[in-house]
Amino acid sequence: MKSAATVPNICLTLLSLIASFSFLSPSFAQVKLPSGSTQVQPIDPNDPNNLRPTSQATSVLSLEGGKRLMSEASNAVSSQNYSLAADKLKEARLVFNQLSNFYQQLNSSFAGIDNRVADSQRKKALDTAQMRDEATYQLALVHRAQNKPELAVPLLVQIIKSQNPTRDLGKKAYRQLFELGFVDSPFPRNGGASSSRK
């Protein structure tokens, strides 16, 4: 049976062995300098300047990713490829909806803790919800072009519920419903006719 005194000695030996590898050395965390130089520089993990948001240019789950899908849908509409346009708009709609939900959750989490962060997330939630509704409107127009009003109507109703009938996108959605014959009362009414009944 080994004495208790040998246990610390074993621990020290193990630490020496590990330290002999480069994993504990600051030089392990290195990056190549720009301009193709082979010279390397250590990264200081305590430097706050090293904390940078990751690039979202190539991410699908980002505002840029959603806009890219919208642009691809617009190109597909220009070439009358309505099936591809519908697919791209469905993806964009999903991306913007997920982003809006995530930003709303962050807003709720930071409310009362850091109002600056909460307000920033609230604005992002509203912006992405607006983009979602615009993608939904474009998708409804594509379904109209495909002669599929049964797919366009639910989308247009969703837009009106989300936007409010008095906002620009809400008015445009209601106009589409009127043109489809789904509703029979124009809005807004010309001449400001009273809605009161006698």
Q: What is the pLDDT of residues 29-80, one digit of tens each?
A: 333 444 444 444 454 545 555 444 445 555 678 889 999 999 999 999 999 9
Strand partners, 41: 31
Question: Measured between alpha carbons, how far is residue 52 from residues 47, 49, 196 in Å?
Answer: 11, 7, 58
Task: Kindly state whether residue 50 falls inside one of the protein's structural domains.
Answer: no
pLDDT at site 58: 58
Looking up residue 178, the CATH number of its domain turns out to be 1.25.40
Residues 6+ apart with CB under 8 A from 85: 73, 74, 76, 77, 142
Distance in angstroms (rounded) separating the CA atoms of residues 176 and 179:
5
Q: Give me the pLDDT at residue 189, please.
A: 76
Please tell me the predicted confidence (pLDDT) of residue 38. Answer: 45
Residue 68 forms part of a structural domain:
yes
Domain membership flag for residue 137? yes
Identify which has the larger pLDDT, 106 or 5: 106
Which domain covers residue 87, as residue numbers? 63-186
Number of domains in the chain: 1
DSSP secondary structure code for residue 28 in this structure: G
Q: Is residue 33 part of a domain?
A: no
pLDDT single digits (tens) 87-119: 999 999 999 999 999 999 999 999 999 999 999
Within-domain flag for 99: yes
Alpha carbon of 194 to those of 28, 189, 191: distances in Å?
A: 76, 9, 9
Region for 154 from its dihedrals, namely left if φ exceeds 0, alpha if ψ lies in -120 to 50, beta otherwise: alpha
pLDDT of 195 over the 70 cut: no
